[in-house]
Amino acid sequence: MDAELKNQGLKRLRCSVQNYNWGKIGSDSQVAKLYALNSGSEIEVDKPYAELWMGTHDSGPSFVVESGGENGIGIGSQSLSLKDWIAKNPNVLGDKVLDKWGCDLPFLFKVLSVAKALSIQAHPDKELAKMLHKLQPDVYKDDNHKPEMALAITEFKALCGFINLKELKAVLQNIPEIVELVGTADAKQVLHVNEQDGEEKVKSVVRSIFTQLMSASKEMITEVISKLKIRLHMESQVRQLTDKEQLILQLEKQYPADIGVISAFFFNYVKLNPGEALYLGANEPHAYLYGECIECMATSDNVVRAGLTPKHRDVQTLCSMLTYKQGFPEILKGFPLSPYIRRYLPPFDEFEVDSCILSKGESTVFPAVPGPSIFVVTAGKGMMHTGLSKEVVGEGDVLFAPANIEINVTTSSELRLYRAGVNSRFFQRL
């Protein structure tokens, strides 16, 4: 078969895992199960498995599995990374993707298993990413922005974006410990500002109080969180604590004396049901809290952290970069492409995600698209075939699909899989 034709079929990938300490432990983690099946490795029972990475980022590359490898896993260290394979076969990206992003995937696909809160963080826009990478390349490893989307597999909890002004005023009236940290002058500014003063004025006041809060001394933070904890435990004897107050106590157990515990009061507490998605633009604060999700983002690992983490914090950069937009985030529920496929379309060119739940004995088609795709199978067994290749697939399998090929999927059991690809609106605009 002609080499170029051969490369138009599906390619199996061997993927990377990240064992961050917030991941679910051992076989409690869906990431662990998927990684073990994908790589042929054993699950270590006491190790956290946080993220399965599927893509070309240097911090967690995927490798193309050559057919004929033992157990379908390929040839170990001699495998070609997906990034290098694409560089040798740039036509697999399609002309439009190649013109816009060059010889690399514009998206990074992940599965996350979250046991405890990730850091309060934001991702820089392109301009800031370039500057941070230049100044601190050891901390900010690339110069790209990182818009992202999380699609819940289980119930998934997160903090995301600032609460609205009315809610913020209620927080300052009901949580005396925050006023103690930021001082009455900053608190009064918030209590006296109104929507009629204009969006920029409101944002300026929120920026001021949040920066003051995040910059408090370690001694004050420790003292105030101790007071808050004692007060909430006492009040829980006589009233039902709110969801947010219960969350604050959980966060304090995970990250004692951490400013992130108190700053959680400033953010929206979001609970996604399976099949719901949350997207985050550049410079929006967020923290994932618990659950398992499919995540997709621009190909970057740039994170500016400021709380709920033992890792490097950059409070000054975080507070200066945020948009300070207020209000509850949009929740995407996806829209049907067919009886079995739903599409989640965030407002970013780099990616979209399709979810496919295929009933036993049924079949469906992923139409040809002008850009590349990555598929991950999270449950069941089935068959994926194009005009040029046919692959038996099961849980843990990850496959790369070149641009412009139609893929038929059939199954004899219920099959669950997800696809990441370049946002269809990007192609429609051209």
Q: Which residues are catalytic?
A: 305
Q: Which residues pair with 375 in a beta bridge?
A: 399, 419
Between CA 175 and CA 224 the distance in angstroms is: 11
Token pair 């001082």 is found at 183
Between CA 111 and CA 253 the distance in angstroms is: 26
Q: Which residues contact 228 (CB under 8 A, 6 or more apart)?
A: 175, 177, 248, 252, 261, 262
Nearest residue to 111 via CA among 376, 356, 341: 376
For the chain, how far is it from start to end, CA to CA, in angstroms? Answer: 33
Angle at 350 between CA 274 and CA 143, to 5 degrees: 115
Q: Which residues contact 418 (CB under 8 A, 6 or more apart)?
A: 109, 151, 294, 353, 354, 355, 356, 375, 376, 378
Residue 71, Cβ density class (10 Å: 0-12 exposed, 13-18 middle, ≥19 buried): exposed
- Strands (DSSP E) contained in 33-106 are 48-49, 51-54, 63-64, 80-81
DSSP characters over 283-340: T--EEEEEEEEEEEEES----EEEES-SS---HHHHHHH----BSPPPEE--EESSSS
186 close to 210: Cβ distance less than 8 angstroms = no
